[in-house]
Structure 1
Amino acid sequence: MPVTLALFTADLRLHDNPVLRGALDGAGQQGAVVPLFVLDDGVRKAGFDAPNRLAFLADCLGDLDEGLRERGGRLVVRTGDVVEETCRAAHEAGVDEVHLAADVSGYAQRREDRLRHALRAEGRRLRVHDAVTAVVPPGSVTPQGKDHFAVFTPYFRQWQAQRLRNVLGSPRGVTVPDGVKSAPLPSRSRTRSVSPELPGGGEREARRRLTAWMRRGVDAYEDRHDDLPADATSRLSPHLHFGTLSAVEAVRRARARGGRGAEAFVRQLAWRDFHRQVLAARPRAAHADYRTHGDRWRRDERAADAWREGRTGYPVVDAAMRQLRHEGWMHNRARLLTAGFLTKTLYVDWRVGARHFLDWLVDGDVANNQLNWQWAAGTGTDTRPNRVLNPLTQARRFDPEGAFVRRWVPELADVAGRAVHAPWTLAEEDRPRDYPGPIVDLDAARDRFRRARGARTGPA
């Protein structure tokens, strides 16, 4: 009886999963498949096992196991080195070939190479599938004479022109061979220090959210995606990160819906592929400047701690940082504001902020997180690397009534009007006693950044 193995990584779904479909096709109607997930020591050692993501992962694995059991199978879970555990499971089940989704980080590329060599030494084959990107696998579309696109707009033109693969259905049945042992499934309840309002994970929740978004949210996305209090974004990023939702299906359904909102949403999905093709070509960009300006970043732990804790004295920044801790998620416009504030107003190294985001974001993703941080810091792919966002201007534009601030900074709940964005302008007797004043002067900070970069900067 032919036996294959589907190694789940960032594709924790049954619907539209090329890895699982490839394993099932490889086994044939009379064969069996080992659906395997390894709680990888390499991820833990690299510091990417943040509590919020572990809790969400537990939901995803539980849902995946339930879906497999409904089809006659089960999820096999192991803990340890991903290559060693995959080879061990393959040996136990007599596997002929292993199926895996391609990924782009330096760690993922090394994992794939190690697994390929280990399996080859045992006479087994590794089959790699494109299951993580939405449309264009990294390296398949490149500008002339280069290995990747460094600017989004020309990349997006090429991205739009590519043929989108068909969406695969979920399997009707999955046969798992006997005798393959599994560790217990992880549990959210056993994960400590989880954000109080962390969303639930799993493919069922992902598909419910996608359907609701297409029916009631996406049409207004172009007009409202920057509106902080409206919270009018899809909130699908955790599901895209864990692969409980297929980006291909999301693009197809948005295009079928049509309209300005759907087009804007698809453009954001293209940014995910753009960042992946950058990181695949330049793995060091996860930690090193993509385009260096010779920055001599300030080491100011007091300022960095104030930023982390939401105590900078700039309400819109503080509101966003508190939302991050409470939900394990942050609004897209707020991410841009807080990242720009840390790197350009406080002139603190982008890696400090990127690490904090990875510690809390349930959708913390090496490609998107690190390269978006570099974009905000002006060391990445931004074509205007020296722009400085003024938090007051941005707050009044995207939170004009102060509702976002009042929700997340209760010290300012009773402050009326636009003073909620600049409470230090209130009369002494009206100023909240438990909210700090600004930790930095905006004009002085902008001048400091301009001198450091040796470039002309302007507010936005």
Structure 2
Amino acid sequence: MSTVILLYTRDLRVHDHPALHEAVRRGDRVVPLFVLDPEILSRSARNRIHYLRDALADLRAALRTRGGDLVLRTGDTVTETLRTAERTGAGAVFLTRDVSAAAQRRHRRLVDEGGRARVDVREFPGVCVVPPLDLTPAGGDHYKVFTPFWRAWERREWRAAVPTPRRVPGPGDIPVGRLPGASLLGQGRGELSPDVQHGGETAARKRMKAWLAGPIGDYEERHDALAAAATSRLGADLRFGCVSPLELARAARDHPKGAAFVRQLAWRDFHHQVTAAFPEIARRDYRPRSTRWRTDRDGFDAWREGRTGVPIIDAGMRQLRHEGFMHNRARMLTAAFLTRELRVHWVHGGDHFHALLADGDIANNYGNWQWIAGTGNDTRPNRSFNLLRQARRFDPDGAYVRRYVPELAALSGAEIHAPWRLDRPPGGYPPPITAAEGPSGG
């Protein structure tokens, strides 16, 4: 009897799951395994751990309805995976390929240590629409600019979605372990947002179907409107693989007005192929520049807490704390304020976002921060952002600001987006901060 371990990482679904499909096809017994790795959890936002708990419970239920189960272990991922292989007699470990530095280290260890234990390790697609590095330019290992990547991505023939297994052979008599309780949240970073999104494939697929059934048709015209519910809110579902990006992209591509949304999925793939080639994206400049960063503890704290005195910035930062989510346009503006106005290093901003975002993804979060800071893949690294003009354009009546900054609730949009230098800010709202003239540094 052949036994295959299916190592789940951030692909927590049963629909369109190539590694699961192949494990069921090849194995007489399949051991779906998820390892709660303390080292990874210690770097994770509490909001993501909240989502993870929901996703694991939902995944176990989905596997059990198909005759299988989800085996849960705690410890080092590679050690626990190979220990489970030894206990079950598994000759193979299947997993979905990922791109972060930690994922690449994990894969190298699995291959090396698995080889010594005579366990075959195989990776499968599933994190992106087009697998990272499957598209490469002539004379290079990855695309450094989005537009040529986008053209190649559009021309690429996508893989077919694999069928959802009706039956998953059970893992046998191995103890499956308990689902993690609320105490798991204590291992994470940042605060738990009161309105953080619930997770799991069942909820994610409902959100996907609702998005495709109507709102996607207005995406191109309304996605930048800060107060509108005009974005998919599928970021966390994609980050944890509770929605297949390929399945979503195929459905969006078939929608008569889905092209703008499909382009955003291409951006996601773009940042993943950059990270696959440059796994230090969360710590080192992709394109080093001679920017003189400032150490501004007070300014950084004011930015984090949403009390900069700039309404559109404070609204975005308070949305992040309250929901574990921020509108994409607000992400751009808040990042521009920190790096361009306060001149604080992008790593600090990226780390703060990563400690709160339920959809926090190494490739997308830090890739976008570097793009804004001028050290990443932007072809115009000196691009400027007129924050007042952006606020008036994308929140003209001030509804977004009033939602998250109650001190300004009595003001009209024109009053909210008047020049920031208010002599007497209303309701105890702080005056705008400016860049500190402190020493350059991190």
Letter in 2 for 1:200: H
1:225 is the counterpart of 2:219: no
SS at match of 2:280: helix
Q: Compute the displacement of 1:403 (Å).
A: 0.2
Partner Cα separation in structure 2 for residue 401 and residue 439 of structure 1: 24
Whole-angstrom CA distance in 2 between matches of 1:294 and 1:427: 36
Letter matched to residue 66 of structure 1:
A
Match of 1:94? 89
**SS in structure 1 of the partner of residue 35 of structure 2:** strand
Q: State the distance in 2 between where 1:317 and 1:280 align.
A: 32
1:143–1:201 CA distance, 2 compared to 1 (3 A): same
Which residue of structure 2 lines up, in the alignment, with residue 180 of structure 1? 174
Matches of 2:343 and 2:422, distance apart in 1: 28
Match of 2:15 in 1: 15
Cα distance in 2, alignment partners of residues 114 and 424 from structure 1: 53
Question: Which deviates more, 140-149 or 75-84?
Answer: 140-149
How do 1:412-427 residues align onto structure 2 when only pairs under 5 Å count? Answer: 412-422=408-418
Instruction: Please give the per-residue CA displacement for 1:352-381, whole angstroms capped at 9, x wherever unaligned.
Output: 100000000001111001110000101001
Amino acid at match of 2:161: V
5 Å-filtered alignment, 1:57-456, equals 57-135=52-130, 137-188=131-182, 191=185, 193-259=191-257, 262-422=258-418, 428=424, 431-440=425-434
What is the Cα deviation at residue 138 of structure 1?
2.0
- Return the offset for 1:38: 0.5
SS of the residue 1:231 aligns to = coil
Q: Contact 1:6–1:20 (CA<8 Å) still a contact in 2?
A: yes
> Matched residues in 1 for 2:34 and 2:420: separation?
52
User: 1 CA distance for matches of 2:400 and 2:182?
Assistant: 29
SS in 2 for 1:285: coil
The CA deviation at 1:41 is 3.0
Q: 1:254: Cα distance to partner?
A: 0.6
Structure 1 residue 6 corresponds to structure 2 residue 19:
no
In structure 1, the partner of 2:24 is 24
Aligned match of 1:41 in 26, 38, 41? 38
Give the AA of the match of 1:35: P
Look up the equivalent residue of 2:141 and give its one-letter code.
Answer: D
The farther-off stretch of 296-305 and 250-259 is 250-259
8 Å CA contact 2:422–2:431 kept in 1: the answer is: no
Deviates more, 1:244-253 or 1:283-292: 283-292
Which string of whole-angstrom CA distances, capped at 9 and with x for unpartnered residues, describes residues 142-164 of structure 1?
11111111100000000001111
Shift of 1:186: 1.5
Q: Provide the rounded CA distance (Å) in 1 between the counterparts of 2:411 and 2:60.
A: 49
Per the TM alignment, residue 433 of structure 1 is displaced from its structure 2 partner at its CA by 3.6
Q: Find the aligned partners of 1:213 and 1:425 in 2 and give their Cα distance.
A: 40
Deviation at 1:84, TM superposition (A): 0.4
**Matched length:** 434
Report if the CA contact (8 A) 2:7-2:94 is conserved. yes
**Partner-residue secondary structure (3-state), 2:73:** strand
Specify the code of the residue in structure 2 equivalent to 1:207: R
Distance 1:367 1:424 in 2: 34
Structure 1 190/275 Cα, relative in aligned 2: closer, same or farther at 3 Å?
Answer: closer
Q: Secondary structure at the match of 2:80?
A: helix
Offset of 1:424 from its aligned partner? 5.3
Q: What is the Cα deviation at residue 2 of structure 1?
A: 1.3
The AA in structure 2 aligned to 1:352 is H
Distance 2:173 2:110 in 1: 23
User: What amino acid maps onto 1:111 in structure 2?
Assistant: R
In structure 1, C-alpha distance between the alignment counterparts of 2:111 and 2:422, rounded to whole Å: 65
Q: 2 CA distance for matches of 1:161 and 1:36?
A: 36
Question: Per-residue deviation at 1:286?
Answer: 2.1
Q: Once the two structures are superposed, what CA deviation does each residue of 1:153-209 show, in whole Å capped at 9, x if it has no partner? A: 000000001111111222111122323223311235863642100111000111101
Kindly provide the amino acid, as one letter, of the partner of residue 245 in structure 1: V
Once the two structures are superposed, residues 251-275 of structure 1 have per-residue CA deviations (whole angstroms, 9 ceiling, x without a partner) of: 110111122xx10100000011111
| Structure 1, unpaired ranges of 5+ | 453-460
| Matching residue of 1:458 | none
Residue type of the partner of 2:210?
A: A
RMSD: 1.7
Cα displacement (A) at 1:242: 0.2
Kept after mapping to 2: 8 A contact 1:56/1:188: no
1:308 Cα shift?
Answer: 0.2
Structure 2: distance between partners of 1:200 and 1:285: 28
User: What SS does the aligned partner of 1:286 have?
Assistant: coil
CA gap of 1:189–1:434, structure 2 versus 1, over 3 A, is farther
Distance 2:80 2:119 in 1: 15
Task: Extract unaligned runs of 5+ from structure 2.
Answer: none
Classify the secondary structure of the residue corresponding to 1:382. coil
Query: Deviations along 1:204-238, whole A, 9 cap, x unmatched?
Result: 11110111001121000000010000121000010
Q: Segments of 4+ in structure 1 off by > 2 A?
A: 187-193, 421-428
Quote the Cα distance in structure 2 between the aligned partners of 1:229 and 1:241.
Answer: 24
TM-score, normalization by structure 1: 0.91
Give, in whole Å, the separation in 2 of the partners of 1:41 and 1:118.
Answer: 20
Identity of matched residues, %: 52
User: Could you tell me whether the CA contact under 8 Å between 1:6 and 1:100 is conserved in 2?
Assistant: yes
After TM superposition, the structure 1 stretch with the greater mean CA deviation from structure 2, 153-162 or 112-121, is 112-121
Bigger Cα displacement from structure 2, 1-10 vs 175-184: 175-184
